[in-house]
Amino acid sequence: MRCSGLWVVAIAVTGLFGCKTRQASVDQARAAPKAAEPTEEELEHMAIPASERAAMRQRLVTVLSKHPEAYLTLRGETPSLDMRPRVAKPVSFRLALPGIERWSDANVGRFDVRIDDRQESIDTSKVDAKRGLSYTFSESGPVMFLFCAGPKVDPPVGALWEKVTHCTKTIVEVSDAQNRTRDTTVNVTHETALPFEVTPMIAPRDLRVGFELGVIFAYRFAELEHFPVAALRPDGSIDHQTTGEGGLAHFQISQAGHWVIRYVKSEADGERVGELVFEVSESK
């Protein structure tokens, strides 16, 4: 899906950028004021060499070209991506971590689904040989999947959720047989305690072309500030931004369709990735 998603990627370079401890508690509602984002002059005062910023931007392009798809996707009655599944129609999950395609090769630290006021855990050990890992929705409305995984840990000792490398937050809109949906109590703008988290300030079902979306980036419960980020629009163009205070960045919703917002943080033993996946409807 080379031109069907928006990706936001934040690359952290050790020693250049700091993390600020989060002030809000997990799943506490946030206000959505527009924070002032750093100007080019302010970035220069942060002692980030121009050559380093250029290298970071190039790294964003490389990451997007190597892995343009989301790390967890839903497939419905057809092999194509399904962001608007139907009630009583099972969907299958496709694992797409770099170098990992089989569930048996992955260390899944967390896989939950939130709908209405309840949360369920999805057991990845119950993978069908023919259909793979599937899920069937019992009611319509917005649903959020919370997924964290990484390479298989052998032997599987210790806190496996701490050894994940990628976290995905996917929000879908489930409809009934008449293509109707409904409001629910699930709040997708809350923090969810993912170790690598991307949180929208507006629920995707409320977004339309022309809106501005604020997004908060966090790494191990600390806000990522002053990070170079990039947005891959549905048409394949790239919008380079930088997070400001509180790990907040703003992006113009210029197109309808499938969006993916992502950051990547470099560590000595590899990269850690957090992403948000959702769809923006055509204007009514």
**What does the pLDDT look like over 42-74, one tens digit per residue?**
544 454 577 877 777 777 778 777 887 889 999
The segments of the chain whose pLDDT lies below 50 read 1-19, 21-35, 43-45, 47
Whether 143 and 172 have beta carbons less than 8 Å apart is answered as yes
Q: Give the max Cα distance, the chain.
A: 57
Q: Report the b/e string of 126-146 with b at 16+ CB within 10 A.
A: ebeeeeebeeebeebbbbbbb
Which residues have C-beta within 8 Å of that of residue 132, sequence separation ≥ 6?
92, 93, 94, 103
C-alpha–C-alpha distance, residues 257 and 233, integer Å: 9
Per-residue pLDDT reduced to its tens digit, 17-38? 444 544 434 443 333 444 455 5
**Predicted TM-score of the model (pTM):** 0.81
Reading across the β-sheet that carries 133-135, which strands appear in turn? 72-75, 91-95, 133-135
Q: What pLDDT does 265 receive?
A: 86
142, 216, 218, 20 alpha-carbon torsion, rounded to 10°: -150
SS (H, E, C) 128-166: ECCCEEEECCCCCEEEEEEEEEEECCCCCCCCHHHHCCE
Q: Where on the phi/psi map is residue 4: left (φ > 0), alpha (ψ -120 to 50), or beta?
A: alpha
Whether 165 and 150 have beta carbons less than 8 Å apart is answered as yes
C-alpha–C-alpha distance, residues 27 and 31, integer Å: 13
Q: Using the structure block, give the residue that is written with the tokens 């033993």.
A: 269
Q: Using the structure block, give the residue that is written with the tokens 């892995």.
A: 67
Whether 10 and 263 have beta carbons less than 8 Å apart is answered as yes
Which residues have C-beta within 8 Å of that of residue 187, sequence separation ≥ 6?
27, 29, 203
C-alpha–C-alpha distance, residues 283 and 278, integer Å: 16
Whether 190 and 199 have beta carbons less than 8 Å apart is answered as yes
